Amino acid sequence: MHETMVAQSLLEMISAEAAKRNARPIGAKISCGMLNPVNDEILSFAFGAIAKSTVCEDLKLEIEHKPMNGQCKNCDSTFELELSHLVCPKCDGKDFELLPNEPLTLEEIEFQTE
Amino acid sequence: MKVNIGKKILLANEEYALKNKQLLAEKKKLCLNMISSPGSGKTSILYRTICDLKDKIKIGVIEGDIQTDIDAERIRATKAPAIQVNTDGACHLSAAQVNKALENLPINELDLVFIENVGNLVCPSDFELGENAKVVVLSVAEGDDKPVKYPSIFAKSEVLLINKIDFLSAGAQVNFDIERVKIDARKLNKDIKIFPISATTGEGMTDWYDWLIESINNSQGN
């Protein structure tokens, strides 16, 4: 639901970086954790709509979804959590520590080279 | 040419959240962000809590709703100060809105500020407001699969209030396995405190009040 707000924030951040470098941004990579996911299709649509007639028009957004990791308290292994099946894949242990969730981050911008 | 940025996208919100956190810490006030789907009983829980604890602690409320000031009016009937924030369609409160609302509350006279977020189990969990802790409310009529279906808010909350448990003892036809909720919530958040309550009958509210008073004492450094 707040993809439009994320899109607005992204547009401001990318436009500011573009102005600093006096370059045209053509691509951007963002990442998000499992506890604050964004929907790729809705975000790309919202970004495309508000980026019209700005320096970010036609910019290609790439969204990386980072897995949530857990650390098993029984065998100490670190594993990717599957929310519908919360057990350690190695030892079937159910007691684990959730590792920190990745915040929604603007990782990288690709600028057009002259 | 690719350039590394590595900046948080919701940074503008987090800057305001930090301001709120600093203000609350400086004044030694406890602030709790209440999150749930619409109709789970957040306002009723606050109403009862304020009335039952009125001789012990002073509570102020920031009410977030898309429209109307119905909730703030309900809270003001208890004589507690309440600030209504209308989001005009937005699905969550932002830290900037809370910052402004805090300015309008008589904060020096209060022990505890409740923020009642917009009824929504999804978006509010992504927006820090500067609170000390999140409290998620789930009512039994909503079903026992909610921690699995909406994991983020259950993973991020310090307290889970399971409300309307009087439905269960009254034999209402609701499919709600309270043990399943506890197990699923603790898988995501092993330290979450779970209080089954009824804001209507008052059942279970004492444990919630004890937790509130202990948390206020901690924030005041007693």
State the ipTM, two decimals: 0.84
Which of residues B148 and A85 earns the better pLDDT score?
Answer: B148
CA distance B179 to B193: 14
Q: How confident is the prediction for chain A on average, in pLDDT?
A: 92
Residue A1 has pLDDT above 60, yes or no: no
Cβ neighbors of A69 (< 8 A, separation 6 or more) are: A78, A79, A80, A81, A98, A99
CA distances from A40 to A44, A47, B68 (A): 6, 10, 33
According to the 3-state scheme, what is the secondary structure of B174-219?
Answer: CCCCHHHHHHHHHHHCCCCEEEECCCCCCCCHHHHHHHHHHHHHHH
Which of residues A83 and A89 earns the better pLDDT score?
Answer: A89
Q: Which residues of A touch B187 (CB under 8 A)?
A: 86, 94
Structural domain harbouring A105? 3-111
Measured at the CA of A30, the angle between CA A61 and CA A34, to 5 degrees, comes to: 120
Residue B215 has pLDDT above 90, yes or no: yes
The pLDDT of residue B38: 97
Percent of chain B with pLDDT over 70: 100
The pLDDT of residue B89: 85
* Minimal Cβ distance to A17: which of B5, B120, B127: B5
Residues of chain B that touch chain A, judged by Cβ-Cβ distance less than 8 Å: 1-12, 90-92, 120, 122-123, 125-127, 148, 151-152, 155-156, 187-190
CA distance A114 to B38: 53
Band (pLDDT 50/70/90 cuts) for residue A101 is confident
Q: Are B62 and B101 in contact (CB under 8 A)?
A: yes
Residue A84 has pLDDT above 80, yes or no: no
Residue B155 in tokens: 């993973």
Q: Which residues of A touch B152 (CB under 8 A)?
A: 35-36
Residue type, position B126, single letter? D
Band (pLDDT 50/70/90 cuts) for residue B213 is very high
Residue B219 has pLDDT above 70, yes or no: yes
Element (H, E) at A111: strand A105-111
Residue A83 has pLDDT above 80, yes or no: no
CA distances from B153 to B40, B124, B126, B196 (A): 15, 8, 8, 17
* Residue range B202-220: mean pLDDT, rounded: 97
CA distance B204 to B209: 9
Q: Which residues of A touch B6 (CB under 8 A)?
A: 105-107
* Residue range B144-157: mean pLDDT, rounded: 94
* Residue range B55-69: mean pLDDT, rounded: 96
Q: Which residues of B touch A108 (CB under 8 A)?
A: 2-5
CA distance B73 to B204: 26
Encode pLDDT of A14-66 as tens digits: 999 999 999 999 999 999 998 888 999 999 999 999 999 999 999 999 999 99
CA distance B4 to B19: 28
Q: Collapse the DSSP code of B52 into the 3-class scheme (helix H, G, I; strand E, B; otherwise coil) and give the result.
A: helix
The sign of the CA dihedral B197, B200, B202, B208 is positive
Measured at the CA of B15, the angle between CA B14 and CA B17, to 5 degrees, comes to: 60
CA distances from B179 to A7, B80, B147 (A): 40, 35, 12
CA distance B67 to chain A (A): 17
CA distance B107 to chain A (A): 30
The pLDDT of residue B172: 82
CA distance B131 to chain A (A): 18
Beta bridge partners of B61: B82, B114
The pLDDT of residue A96: 84
Q: Are B91 and B8 in contact (CB under 8 A)?
A: no
Match 């004044």 to its residue by tokens. Answer: B27
Pick from B3, B94, B117, B123 the residue to mutate for testing the A interface (most A CBs within 10 Å): B3
Residue type, position A95, single letter? D
Number of Cβ within 10 Å of residue B94's Cβ equals 23
The pLDDT of residue A30: 97
* Residue range B22-30: mean pLDDT, rounded: 97
CATH assignment of the domain containing A79: 3.30.2320.80
* Residue range B186-210: mean pLDDT, rounded: 96
Q: How confident is the prediction for chain B on average, in pLDDT?
A: 95
Band (pLDDT 50/70/90 cuts) for residue A3 is confident
Encode pLDDT of B120-148 as tens digits: 999 899 899 999 999 999 999 999 999 99
Band (pLDDT 50/70/90 cuts) for residue A114 is confident
Split into its structural domains, chain A has a count of: 1
How is A22-57 classified by DSSP, letter by letter?
Answer: T--EEEEEEEE-TTS---HHHHHHHHHHHHTTSTTT
Domains of chain B: 11-219 (3.40.50.300)
Q: For strand B30-35 and strand A69-72, is the pairing parallel, antiparallel, or unpaired?
A: unpaired
* Minimal Cβ distance to A106: which of B7, B152, B187: B7
Residue B115 has pLDDT above 60, yes or no: yes
**b/e string for A68-106 if b means 16 or more Cβ within 10 A?**
bbbebeeeeeebebebeebbbeeeebeebebeebbbbbb
